[in-house]
Amino acid sequence: MIIAPDEVLFDTQLVQKIRCFLEKGGKLILSHESGLDINKKDFALPELGLSYLGPSPFEQEYLRISEVLPSLDQKYDYILYERGSRVSLLSEKGEILGRLVRPYFNRSWKAFCSHGQTPPAELTEEPAIVQIGGVIYITHPIFAMYRKWAYPVYRKVVGGCIDRLLPFPLVRVSNFPVSGEITVLRKESSLLLHLLYFPIAGKGELQVVEDLIPLQDVRISLRVDFNVERIRCIPEDQILPFQQDGKYISFTVPKIEGHQMIIVE
């Protein structure tokens, strides 16, 4: 999977690479202006079946999720804090995963309501999230919005899109913080996992790690393509019991103190 966040414009060379990647079964997530040509006139890949209509006329609007993204309430309108893009769906094969809800008006000296944003007014048929085959496009700069506003809904939207495109991911994890990181590396005939969790605290202009908070009983499911004989914690050399169900093995890491390395052999 390739994720092109918010403002990755496609030149001729990148178009060729992405087209080849998609033809081989690759998956792609685009948001806002990503996927447009370098002049921002239209999408650089006509086969996407999307037409770019320009920036949204609204500074803020709302997202109504469809039932295909079950992690969010389909009856609630979620605020989109930044101006997005307008697109139209040309392909009959496309599926709208979320629609735009217009606010009553843009806030200005002429019209004002609420401390934060103008309330939602009308559900439209305009797409906010659309899937065409192995590609999902999100109309708003959802990655920049998450970084600026830290609204968990944006993370859940992207997570739901990833789940749709990759129903059988390489790794699944539970009882693990959102800010934790997992890296899977192949080393000869083994897989090496790095699990990290260092809670970061903002101190002025710096982000520092002041406290090391241990994690207990982190559950891992890993997709493998070989017969697993054993799983060990490194460097402790602790053997971990595991269960295998089809292409997935499942095991529990008893404790993580900042970093833990696991080898699957």
The model's pLDDT over 165-208, given as tens digits with 9 standing for 90+, comes to 999 999 999 999 998 999 999 988 899 999 999 988 777 778 88
- Residue 87: closest CA among 143, 39, 133, 31: 31
Distance CA 120, CA 103 (A): 4
- Position 115 scores a pLDDT of 73
- Position 110 scores a pLDDT of 77
List per-residue pLDDT tens for the chain, 265 residues long. 999 999 999 999 999 999 999 999 999 999 999 999 999 999 999 989 999 999 999 999 999 998 888 889 999 999 999 999 999 999 788 999 999 999 988 777 777 777 778 888 999 999 999 999 999 999 999 999 999 999 999 999 999 999 999 999 999 999 999 989 999 999 888 999 999 999 887 777 788 888 889 999 999 999 999 999 999 999 999 999 999 988 999 999 999 999 999 999 9
User: Boundaries of CATH 2.60.40.1180 in the chain?
Assistant: 171-264
- Region of 51 please: left (phi>0), alpha (psi -120 to 50) or beta: beta
Residue 179: C-alpha distances to residues 94, 143, 199, 207, 261 (Å):
33, 15, 7, 14, 17
Average pLDDT, the chain: 93
Domain 171-264, CATH among 3.30.70.20, 2.60.40.1180, 2.50.20.10, 3.40.50.410: 2.60.40.1180
Tokens for 159, please give them: 């997570």
- CB atoms under 10 Å from CB of 149, counted, come to 14
- Position 38 scores a pLDDT of 95
Distance CA 250, CA 240 (A): 10
CATH hierarchy code of domain 2-165: 3.40.50.880
CA torsion sign for 99, 147, 172, 213 is negative
- Position 111 scores a pLDDT of 77
- Residue 265: closest CA among 186, 194, 172, 182: 186
User: Boundaries of CATH 3.40.50.880 in the chain?
Assistant: 2-165
Tokens for 14, please give them: 């990148």
